[in-house]
Chains A and B, each alone.
Chain A
């Protein structure tokens, strides 16, 4: 009887909506949001959407996971070409320039001004905002899930090998690796051919350029320079350590990536995203003592801020005007300090605004054992004001360039390439990608 009643009332409601008899229901503006996170993190995005829908009565956001960052960009492009695109799309760091030159978006600042929201843009951490801003500092997209690379180490193993404190320099890391090896650990430090920590973050904190023209911020005619910087010495050091069995390659193809290698206590030190902090805590054997610290630097280096990773939210153009009001409301909603805190707590991503971070610090979030150390990511990101080398990396076809660099690393660590020859190869192939991108977007200016 009850179900019949429900069905009846639903039918009546549907009829009423159809006839436009209940304006309150009919006026709710629906708009779409596509994101790339999946699994546990994808669920948290769904929670965000639910919170927004419950918080107000005017708009309804429909959130769909595209299962992966590159897939989200591909699908958004296909949808945009078919004019069936979502209002908001999540784009990973490497896809930033593709969006910037697409002419297919509404700049963040304009969107919020048009819809009457006052955003304190200076409230975003410089190291985060600059990655998604023009060279003049105007934000084009909203920083959303942000992270940076950290150094994870197993405190129990360190104690057993007689090492005190967190390694601050690569000299410390080498010494620690030798002691760990002597204490019988087969894999003191595990690393993969992912370029993010070893190449990009290394270059930033050592104030080394990745490419000319201020890492591409000042023009599309940029060229890679990673074969002429401190990176050459750094990879030479990695190669030497690998040959001595102190550093060990861990990749998916070999059977185990770096994070599982750390949580299974196969390897005692790794470089990985702060976003893995939650995963490590959940999967490592309970009771194991481990910690994170900022990425090491070479002795005598003046440390710079590290780069932000993760993704930002772009608002695409050519949608009905009403949807932009909803999009602006949603973006304003997730920037509120309580939402920032909730998001950071449940995911492990860092808060993107200063007020969000201060609020979390004030209520003792970082003193809780499970979250201890996450504030070091903020410390790393804000270590210095951003320089030309630490603002971000603005290269066309960047995902392909990353692939070329990691291919070269495969050649260096597994093949017969020397470090210099490998990096020369990556630079040559990467530059070909950059020239092609420059030609394709010859008619469009970089701001």
Chain B
């Protein structure tokens, strides 16, 4: 049976929530409404009241009719799922190792969080220098066989580059949550199964993952959302590939920002960002509806 605490007064909780509500209002709902008006009109860059043309669903029709847009959607989905899977998998392996108190785990626990503290554009810049096919540290592989690694030339390599870059930054964050989760699993359970003869992999699959499910679900939602629409994705793409070669890494957030601010196409970008908001809502709904069912919190 759940015990519920009920506050008698109504203004106190509102007063506590007010700062947050104001923040959301000023930095989300307010801009969102102007995006809404732009999406249904043709907004000139410098404004101009009275001239703004109401065009109904035209902007959306144009967006949906553009094959490049759908390519960008599928690129974004591919990027989000791959980056999330890679970063969560590596973080989990690292967390298990640290949890097993392997040699030096204290030191690694300290270092693994660092990448998350670095701003995405800085990560992008560093990765661009390290992974530059002709002059980066990785250039040596191209002396073994030409074009073994060339993200400037091949779209697939460019995609790998941005995925690795994003995963590298988020491993630290995932790692912290997973380590904390693993440490709250009673030692006796692990020891009992070890005495029954199960190895580390079996223990991870049958014990640790199910017991860690709420944490993993939380991280899944967060990673997917962040890689799909987050500022990190924009920062990384902007500094490594600029959406290229020939739009192979032109993910939705990058496309929207460059169309709005470089192309000064405010209305088209507004329509695209509304579609993006709808997609992320759908995305999150699916996760809570179908994935969360399989998560047991107790």
Contact = CB atoms under 8 A, between A and B. Distances in A.
Interface of A: 70, 73-74, 77, 80-81, 98, 101-104, 251-256, 397, 399-400, 403, 407-408, 410-411, 414-415, 417, 429, 432-433, 436, 439-444
16 contacts: A70-B262, A102-B45, A251-B152, A252-B128, A253-B132, A254-B133, A255-B134, A255-B135, A403-B258, A408-B246, A415-B246, A436-B268, A439-B42, A440-B43, A440-B267, A442-B42
B134 A254 contact: yes
Interface stretch (B5-13, B47-55, B104-112, B218-226): B47-55
Contacts of A73: 264
Contact of A254 (B62, B152, B242, B268): B152
Contacts of A80: 46-47
Contacts of A414: 152-154, 245-246
Interface residues of B, number: 43
Contacts of B241: 253
Pick the most buried of B155, B240, B246: most chain A CB atoms within 10 A of its CB. Answer: B246
Contacts of A399: 262-263
A256 B246 contact: no
B132 A254 contact: yes
Contact of A407 (B51, B244, B264, B268): B244
Interface in B43-82: 43-48, 51, 53, 55, 62, 66, 68
Contacts of A400: 258-259, 262-263, 265
Nearest to A409: B246
A253 B261 contact: no
B6 to A, nearest CB: 45
Contacts of B267: 440
B246 A81 contact: no
B151 interface: yes
B246 A411 contact: yes
A255 B133 contact: yes
Contacts of A433: 263, 265
Query: Chain A: interface secondary structure?
Result: helix
The 5 closest A-B pairs by CB, nearest first: A255-B132, A255-B135, A253-B152, A400-B263, A102-B46
B139 interface: yes
A81 to B, nearest CB: 5
Nearest to B158: A253
Contacts of B42: 439-440, 442
Contacts of B68: 429
Given A255-B133, A436-B265, A103 B244 contact: no
A46 B129 CA distance: 31
Pick the most buried of A101, A102, A407: most chain B CB atoms within 10 A of its CB. Answer: A407
Contacts of B261: 70, 74
B203 interface: no
A440 B44 CA distance: 6
Nearest to B66: A432
Contacts of A70: 261-262
B134 A256 contact: yes
Nearest to B48: A103
Pick the most buried of B53, B247, B264: most chain A CB atoms within 10 A of its CB. Answer: B264
B210 interface: no
Nearest to B240: A253
A401 B244 CA distance: 15
A441 B258 CA distance: 20
Pick the most buried of B43, B48, B66, B68: most chain A CB atoms within 10 A of its CB. Answer: B48
